[in-house]
Amino acid sequence: MLTSNSTIGFIGTGVMGKSMAVNLQNAGFSLAVYTRTKEKAQGLVDNGANWKSTIAELAVSADVIITMVGYPSDVEEVYFGEGGILENAAAGNYVIDMTTSKPTLAEKIFKEAKARGIYALDAPVSGGDVGAKNASLAIMVGGEQQDFDAIAPLLHVMGNNVILQGAAGAGQHTKLANQITIASTMVGVCEAIAYARKSGLDPSRVLDSISTGAAGSFSLTKLAPRILAGDFAPGFYVKHFIKDMTIALESAEEMGMSTPGLALSLELYRELAEKGEEDSGTQALIKLFEE
């Protein structure tokens, strides 16, 4: 049972994870953290978090363990690797993977955790660095109802749209649907800005007109202004978006489904990454249209 005295273990304090962890600290939770590079968590440690030098050390000290890492291979490692979470977390504790990962991997974690008496949920997020900082993330959850009910107050510290979508893996499937939507939207936003500039319009005035109409979206409202400002810093990395789109495309193919918009977007982002932009934000796609 989650209480104000519960210790939250957090693994992965990157662009989004760090802000999510800060919000947990600000809500009064005791925090234990582990990252491969301690410097990335130094701000949290300076603010009172307990640094753990191994995953195993963190797992045995926490009542709830949240993971927010990069790739499915990282998820595999932290949960199933030697000294990993599942062999060290105590029965009755909770593990929440908030990484965007494979639905089949979420199901695997759930089954193994359940066999050990551990409660597991997949809970990927959307909202980028802004949503993480403002605790306004959309959090899409897969797992059992009673486990969701137990940890929902914790999730609401990090997001304002928290929905149980179904059984294990459902959170990941929902996030992939989210990424499929964003994929084609980002192409449209970048094409629109390039078109506006090419036609001699003031693109900022164009945004004022179209962002509140039928074209309105997070990408248009939050990322298009960054494009106009020449700000390509990552709210969400190109390389991670490629990872997400690849998982979504593979999942769609496994279901016998065609996703041509997704396929085109993935092709364009791979081209962008090959030009050295993999560590830029997704808004850097504009560079392909204005070469």
Residue 287 designated active-site: no
- Amino acid letter for position 65: I
| Alpha carbon 219 to its chain's center | 16
Q: How far apart are CA 282 and CA 43, in angstroms?
A: 26
Which pair of tokens denotes residue 45?
Answer: 């440690």
Question: What is the residue-wise DSSP string for 39-99?
Answer: GGGHHHHHTTPEE-SSHHHHHHH-SEEEE--SSHHHHHHHHHSTT-STTTSPTT-EEEE-S
**DSSP label at 282?**
G
| Alpha carbon 200 to its chain's center | 37
Q: 262: Cβ–Cβ under 8 A, 6 or more apart, which residues?
A: 180, 183, 184, 245, 248, 249, 252
The catalytic position among 18, 102, 175, 243 is: 175
Where in the sequence numbering do the catalytic residues fall? 175
